[in-house]
Amino acid sequence: MAMDDRVAARLDRVVAEYEDTVDQLASAEVLADQSRFREVAERHAQLKPIAMAFTEYREAEAEAAEAVELRLTEDDPEMVAYLRSVAEAKQIELVQLEGDLQKLLVPKDPNDDKDVIVELRSATGGDEAALWTGDLYRMYERFAERNRWTIEPIDVSPSDTGGLKEATFAVKGKGAYSLFKYEAGPHRVQRVPKTESQGRIHTSIATVAVLPEAEAVEIEINDNDLDIETFRSKGPGGQSVNTTDSAVRITHIPTGITVSCQDEKSQLQNKTKALRVLRARLFQQQVEAQLGERADVRRSQVGSGERSEKIRTYNFKENRVTDHRVGLTVHTLPQVLDGDLTVLHDALIADEAARAFAGE
């Protein structure tokens, strides 16, 4: 199958721009201007892998076409068979090269290498939603372990039934955001709850918000803009879990964003963690503003928490996990809940690459 003409034209423009950067880097004018030289060199480095891959694609395409053309005029059966094998091999190569180009055309998210702040909330479903939130927390713990990232709890609120009403935690490790970002949204579970005596399947929702963690140099917070409160940490059923007012609630007055942290015994440590979450939310808000968007990203990620909204469904009776964004269903529920999200993420990455390749 031939490449779409619009995509090919787009790639031709990339090759032309790349060749232009080669000429510029050799010009005395650019060499004399270090700022301009760095700018052109950076663009050259960005375009080179795409230009090289597309040049290789064009060469393989020409060789495949030549083999087909020669086969039509060839009488020798052995030569016909050889040319057929060449054409088939080149078609396989073209498919592989097109896949490489799809990945290369995906714009790199500047936040991909950052650590992340993840916020889990039990939504529709009462006690079962809280139990499901706890299951998701454990799934992400295992997912982080598989990738050799570390999880740092920030604010975890247990429910009376052994689940979690909500949980905020940091994931630290190179590339954490590049994969965790695909987890943002409502996660729906369909199963017979532990609390259900009649054996009826119950549907619940837990929401996941994922924010890239910002460095202090990226987001400066004015102390005068903060309203800081302290209170006693609470556990399941509302009982106090320590005897000092170590828990911290910080409100950013200009935006109204409120963050709480009670995971540490030290008030100072809780304040430090809460500020990290606040900084991540403000960073995300800044990114929105730069993109000209007005909707709150966290709200767009988690939706309203209704059962009809979901990015993924986990059906225990059918041993099924379905990602609704790409229409992928796998029957490996235990493995997924054990943190093996590779197949799901590969499909989402491939879909993103295909859409970028098509210019969407």
SS3 labels along 290-306: HHCCCCCHHHHHHCCCC
Confidence band, pLDDT 50/70/90 cuts, at residue 295: very low
Residues 90 and 138 grouped into a single domain: no
Indicate whether 243 pLDDT > 70: no
The whole-number average pLDDT for the span 258-283 is 85
For residue 232, the enclosing domain spans 116-307+333-353
In the chain, the percentage of residues whose pLDDT exceeds 90 is 51
| Model pLDDT for residues 124-168, shown as the tens digit of each residue | 888 899 999 999 999 999 999 999 999 999 888 898 888 999 999
Q: Quick check: 309 and 205 in contact, CB under 8 A?
A: yes
| Model pLDDT for residues 30-56, shown as the tens digit of each residue | 999 999 999 999 999 989 999 999 999
pLDDT at residue 151 in the model: 94
Question: What token pair was written down for 286?
Answer: 């800044």
Q: How many domains, the chain?
A: 2
Helices (H), the chain: 5-25, 28-32, 34-73, 77-104, 126-146, 176-180, 267-291, 297-302, 333-337, 342-357
The whole-number average pLDDT for the span 332-340 is 97
Within-domain flag for 187? yes
Residues 255 and 287 grouped into a single domain: yes
Residues 132 and 219 grouped into a single domain: yes
Residues 193 and 137 grouped into a single domain: yes
Indicate whether 102 pLDDT > 70: yes
Residues 174 and 232 grouped into a single domain: yes
Residues 94 and 178 grouped into a single domain: no
Q: Quick check: 163 and 134 in contact, CB under 8 A?
A: yes
| Model pLDDT for residues 172-226, shown as the tens digit of each residue | 999 999 999 999 999 999 999 876 667 788 999 999 999 988 775 567 788 888 8
Indicate whether 294 pLDDT > 60: no
> Where among 79, 104, 129 does a domain terminate?
104
d(CA 251, CA 229): 8
Residues 142 and 15 grouped into a single domain: no
Within-domain flag for 212? yes
Within-domain flag for 90? yes
Within-domain flag for 328? no
Residues 249 and 271 grouped into a single domain: yes
> Where among 104, 139, 161 does a domain terminate?
104
CATH classification at residue 266:
3.30.70.1660
Give the single-character DSSP code of 240. B
Of residues 299 and 106, which shows the higher confidence score? 106
State the average pLDDT for the chain.
Answer: 86
Confidence band, pLDDT 50/70/90 cuts, at residue 333: very high
Residues 67 and 123 grouped into a single domain: no
